[in-house]
Amino acid sequence: MNWKSVLSKDGTVKYLFTTSDKQNIESVFIPQKTTSTICLSSQVGCALACTFCATGALGFTRNLSHEEIIEQYETIMKDQNIKELPNIVFMGMGEPLLNLPSVKKAVDFFHNKIHLSKKKITISTVGITPQFPAVAQLGTQFALSLHAPSDALREKIMPINKKYKISKIFNALSVFQFTKHKPLMIEYILLNEVNDQEEHIKQLITLLKKYQYPYLINIIPYNAHLFSSYTKSSRAEKCKQQLIQAGFKTFIRESRGQDINAACGMLTGLTQIKKLNNP
């Protein structure tokens, strides 16, 4: 694949790859003090249309092959001259569980060929429950993009919830062997006056305590982009403290690469943006 990159003022690097059939995908390199992270895409676009995600505005074009997924990794490793094995997160463009055969082959490559521990690989999903048993067998870290504490609210911001209700998702999670050292990661993006109020966090606490998995909660600040009218919440720290007081290990994810549209929910591909602006 052809590629080019752009550097953020915070050191984050976004890569734009052009495939052999002229599709565009993006990946992100996030340098950190300890282990750096590479965020990989699994699809061209995304079919799920989550209302807060720029990728969802593109619609779905096709799945990536496992070779295309691996090539993202290898290109970034070579370009950045990375010597130590990084963390890999499937949190770029697309829903990994809707392209599980390619994701599985890529994970097998990372683990068996370059000897990357599966503890350093995270697969993030909105909750495609039929694929949970196969993902559980992979043995990677697992992250659930939840983003709302109730079906009514989740359906408004994530249409996929009409098919996979919250209770169905949490019951299906029983196939995983979550532990204190390998918890269920809950991702929760804060949307101003949508899902960030005290009552929403109370509902979230009630939901999580009902199922009693070992959790690690990532609060994600909303990153504004052209394809959504949401605004960033000012209640991140209050939500964090509310969850900590309820007994949950909780972090606020640092937004990286906002100035180059590389932060969470901002990946589109330059060509796709031009198409959306000039249909």
Q: Model confidence at 223, in pLDDT bands (50, 70, 90)?
A: very high
Domain ranges of the chain: 2-277
pLDDT digits (tens, 9 = 90+) for 169-204: 999 999 999 999 999 999 999 999 999 999 999 999
Displacement of CA 201 from its chain's centroid (Å): 21
DSSP-derived letter for residue 183 is P
CA–CA dist 149, 201 (Å, integer): 8
For residue 148, CA distances in Å to 36, 158, 168, 219, 229 come to: 29, 9, 15, 12, 18
CATH of 2-277, picked from 3.40.50.300, 3.30.9.10, 3.30.70.1450, 3.20.20.70, is 3.20.20.70
pLDDT digits (tens, 9 = 90+) for 98-132: 999 999 999 999 999 999 999 999 999 999 999 99
174 three-class SS? helix
Instruction: Quote the Cα angle for 230-251-212, to 5°.
Output: 100
CA–CA dist 190, 255 (Å, integer): 12
Say how many Å lie between the first and final Cα of the chain, rounded.
Answer: 26
Task: Check 26, 68, 95, 187 and give the catalytic one.
Answer: 26
Task: Check 50, 53, 239, 264 and give the catalytic one.
Answer: 264
Among 170, 171, 151, CA closest to 161? 151
Q: Which amino acid is at 184?
A: L
For residue 193, CA distances in Å to 56, 210, 216, 231, 239 come to: 21, 25, 24, 9, 13
Tokens of 217: 């909660």
Q: How much is the pTM? A: 0.95
- Rounding to the nearest 10 degrees, give the CA dihedral for residues 90, 92, 94, 97: 10
pLDDT exceeding 70 applies to what percent of the chain? 96
Question: Is 26 one of the annotated active-site residues of the chain?
Answer: yes
pLDDT digits (tens, 9 = 90+) for 46-72: 999 999 999 998 899 999 999 999 999
